[in-house]
């Protein structure tokens, strides 16, 4: 299975056995810096949803009754329950079934470049937001670690995500310990102090999960900016702003 390069904003699972549909959808998706992974049968699609993360899933209802299983399977998969789901339908009955199963957007046949582009643009902010939820930004910046009954420890971040970070530091802490992290986000000098829980420790490498904080919006905005910087200029030219929620 191919993996997307760092330049791609997200991964899309395209489930269809119709060559024309695959061709019509693949190029517009790629133009938005989204990696397309095509699958032609439902059992394989369901298996992939259980072992990989996708920011969006497109399901062709010409696959028959099992197509609905892919939509429902997406919503049941731990890593993909919030993915943006498109369904390709031939009529209103299929469209109604798709929305009942959990579809987010509907692509009606006959497909056209204009209708595909309009739907992808409408969904793009949601796709970027979903990518940001799991995005781990490689960044090295000083971090101070404060805990009960311990001297302040100092280290450096390895990566930062919306939900936590990895860092290198020599600190007398272990999984389950609650500590406070103090660090500055590169590029905008935002100083953050976030209460966190230690998730794992491996020698001098540490993993932290952030607890809910009023500073989360700053971190989300910073991560969105890093994602936008990774986009090709052609994509940035199409979208001037991205939802931060």
* Domain-wise residue ranges, the chain: 10-134, 137-221
Mean pLDDT of 218-229: 84
Q: Give me the pLDDT at residue 243, please.
A: 46
Q: Give me the pLDDT at residue 235, please.
A: 66
For 10-134, CATH number? 3.40.50.2300
Residue whose pair of structure tokens reads 């059992």 in the numeric block: 43
Q: Give me the pLDDT at residue 91, please.
A: 85
Q: Give me the pLDDT at residue 74, please.
A: 95
Domain 10-134 matches domain 137-221 at the CATH topology level: no
| Share of residues in the chain with pLDDT > 90 (%) | 63
More confident residue, 36 or 65: 36
What are the Cα distances from residue 107, in Å, to 11, 71, 116, 139? 19, 14, 7, 39
Q: Give me the pLDDT at residue 244, please.
A: 44
For 137-221, CATH number? 2.40.10.220
52 within 8 A of 77, measured Cβ to Cβ: no
Residue whose pair of structure tokens reads 């095509």 in the numeric block: 38
Give the DSSP letter of residue 163. S
| Residue 26 pLDDT class (50, 70, 90 cuts) | very high
Per residue in 99-135, pLDDT (tens digit) is 998 999 999 999 999 999 999 989 988 988 888 888 8
Extract the tokens encoding 99. 């929305």
The closest alpha carbon to 51, from 11, 85, 19, belongs to 11
- What is the rounded distance in angstroms from the CA atom of residue 195 to the CA atom of residue 204? 20
Q: How far is CA 143 from the centre of its chain?
A: 25
Mean pLDDT computed over every residue of the chain: 88
Q: How far is CA 102 from the centre of its chain?
A: 18
Crossing angle of the two packed helices 216-230 and 113-134, in degrees rounded to 10: 130
Q: Give me the pLDDT at residue 211, please.
A: 93
Residue whose pair of structure tokens reads 């998730």 in the numeric block: 199
Per residue in 130-181, pLDDT (tens digit) is 888 888 889 999 999 999 889 999 999 999 999 999 999 999 999 999 999 9
- What element of type H or E holds 47? helix 42-51
Q: Give me the pLDDT at residue 239, please.
A: 56
Burial of 19 (C-beta count, 10 Å sphere; 0-12/13-18/19+):
exposed
- What is the rounded distance in angstroms from the CA atom of residue 93 to the CA atom of residue 135? 37
Would you say residue 30 has pLDDT above 50?
yes
Q: Give me the pLDDT at residue 132, please.
A: 84
| Residue 241 pLDDT class (50, 70, 90 cuts) | very low
pTM of the full structure? 0.74
| Share of residues in the chain with pLDDT > 70 (%) | 91
């Amino acid at each position: 299975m191919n993996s997307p390069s760092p330049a791609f904003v997200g991964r899309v699972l395209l489930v269809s056995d119709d060559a024309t549909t695959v061709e019509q959808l693949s190029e517009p998706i790629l133009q938005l810096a989204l990696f397309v992974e095509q699958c032609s049968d439902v059992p394989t699609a369901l298996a992939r949803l259980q072992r990989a993360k996708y920011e969006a899933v497109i399901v062709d209802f010409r696959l028959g009754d099992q197509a609905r299983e892919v939509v429902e399977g997406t919503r049941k998969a731990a890593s993909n329950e919030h993915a943006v789901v498109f369904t390709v339908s031939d009529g209103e009955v299929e469209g109604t079934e798709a929305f009942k199963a959990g579809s987010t957007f509907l692509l009606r046949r006959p497909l056209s470049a204009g209708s595909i582009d309009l739907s992808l643009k409408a969904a793009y902010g949601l796709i970027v937001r979903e990518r940001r939820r799991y995005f781990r930004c490689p960044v090295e910046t000083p971090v101070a670690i404060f805990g009960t009954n311990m001297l302040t420890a100092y280290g450096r971040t390895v990566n930062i995500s919306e939900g936590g970070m990895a860092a290198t530091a020599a600190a007398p802490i272990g999984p389950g310990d609650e500590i406070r992290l103090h660090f500055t986000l590169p590029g905008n000098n935002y100083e953050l102090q976030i209460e966190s829980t230690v998730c794992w420790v491996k020698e001098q490498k540490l993993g932290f999960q952030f607890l809910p904080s009023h500073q989360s919006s700053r971190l989300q905005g910073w991560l969105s900016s890093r994602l936008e910087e990774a986009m090709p200029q052609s994509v940035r030219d199409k979208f001037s702003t991205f939802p931060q929620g």
